[in-house]
Structure 1
Amino acid sequence: MLTVRKRRQSPKQRHRDIYCSMLIKLAVVLLMAVICQGEKLFYKPRMIKVLPSNEIEPQKKPDFCNKLDCPEYKVIESSSGYELREYTATHWVSTALAGIDYSKASSEMFMKLFAYIQGKNAKKEKIAMTAPVLIRLIPGQGPACESNFTMSFFMSNKVADPPAPTDSTVTLKSAPTFRAYVRQFGGYYRKIEDWIKEAQELIKSINDPSKYHTEFYFTAGYDSPFRIFNRHNEIWFISK
């Protein structure tokens, strides 16, 4: 029968082990902080090139669409704080909800639209995911008042005849050509307060509320919730 005697550590070794353990814990804390802050630490704003009006061409599919189909647009005007885009006529599948909690409403609406593209439709047809996930927000009269949310998935031109939804709360909609003032930014945005801050920055950049509709605005997300870095989000104000 063999017995193993534990080797006693010297005070110097114990201090060294404690120090190493503290360094490991600190590294873990810093890593979690980076993940929580996400793109805010690493996002680099896309450089905007201003073109004369006679050189404006339709925009190629942006990298932030992540190889998903997304609406075509061209940049009409740009500055350090926004782009004015012109979108071609588009088709969308939408659902609406009233509530106070933006995150909860977003999750509920997303699941309804995701079910539609996964086959909960008249043709039981699966449809590829697109970008962005667009939410129209009509703010309530106060922080304790309900806001009205409408989430929409873009219907790609590859879907020539979108199937009718079987859920009565899901509808197909068409949008004519429109222009939008767009602010771009990175990071995770789940709370309405975070989106409001970005909307306020867009208001400052445009500096003229007569140019856009003030009674509502859109949030646009382009990434899976599992994506940690290089996330892309937008705020849209629809031009008058």
Structure 2
Amino acid sequence: MAVKSFVALLILGISMTNARHVKVNADKSPKFCNGLDCPEFTVLKQTDEYDIRAYEQSAWVSTEILGMDFDKAGEEAFGRLFAYISGANEAKEKVPMTAPVITRVIPGAGPACESNFTISFFVPFKFQSNTPKPTADNVFLSSIEKHEAYVRSFPGYANQDKYLKEAEALGQALLNTTTPYRQDFFYTAGYDAPFKPFNRHNEVWFFAEE
């Protein structure tokens, strides 16, 4: 996976001036969530290039794949996670679809090295505190702690090349900032079903260091 140039761009950064606090929660989800349950966050700042968001702690169901192809990993992982929400869990319960589908990418050490992809579905609000356990060995429950993230949004259909391009653009936008963020991984987020042709919404997330 061509991530070496991206990793080089992950340097320290972010300015917290001109903060704009907008709360997004279960009762006020963004339009790009398409009416589905989405993680709760507060918008702290908006610029032309990115938002700064503060996210609440959240529960997810996840699967992990080692490989060099982001798109292939996503297809395989989606099948595993879709089986879970279709009833492959200890409660044999159908779990509603949510948004977004996220992928944590830990880039390989070089162009010929495998990357670590952890793909996750957000757990619906009614299951956040009592999530059915997966029955498949390669699917597991996970959580993301309360954190701040620097989020770049973009439209259209997204794939490996597009996410890397947008991650590079986010890195460039943060070059001259001064607050640290995590350099060892980044997240991608897709909000739309494959058959939705218009008004698609995708994101790249860099997590702030605590």
Q: Normalising TM by the smaller chain, what interval?
A: 0.7 to 0.9
Aligned to 1:175: 144
Higher relative contact order (CA 8 A, sep 6+): 2
Instruction: Say if 2:99 is the partner of 1:131.
Output: yes
Q: How does 1:1-240 map to 2 (within 5 A)?
A: 53=19, 56-59=21-24, 60-159=28-127, 160-190=129-159, 192-207=160-175, 208=177, 211-240=180-209
Task: Tell me, in whole angstroms, the C-alpha distance in 2 between the residues paired with 1:221 and 1:180.
Answer: 16
TM-score (norm 1): 0.75
Distance 1:57 1:79, change over 3 A: closer
Task: Tell me, in whole angstroms, the C-alpha distance in 1 between the residues paired with 2:56 and 2:178.
Answer: 24
Aligned to 1:5: none
With 70-79 and 156-165 compared, the bigger mean Cα shift is at 156-165
One-letter amino acid of the counterpart of residue 58, structure 1: K
Aligned length: 189
Q: Which protein has the larger Cα radius of gyration, Structure 1 or Structure 2?
A: 1
One-letter amino acid of the counterpart of residue 137, structure 2: S
Consecutive aligned runs of 4 or more in structure 1 exceeding 4 Å deviation: none
Paired residues of 1:203 and 1:209 also in contact (CA < 8 A): no
Alpha-carbon offset, residue 101 of structure 1: 1.1
Secondary structure (helix, strand or coil) at the match of 1:174 reads strand
Alpha-carbon offset, residue 185 of structure 1: 0.3
Bigger strand share: 2
Alpha-carbon offset, residue 168 of structure 1: 1.1
Q: CA RMSD in A?
A: 1.8
TM-score (norm 2): 0.85
Paired residues of 2:18 and 2:45 also in contact (CA < 8 A): no
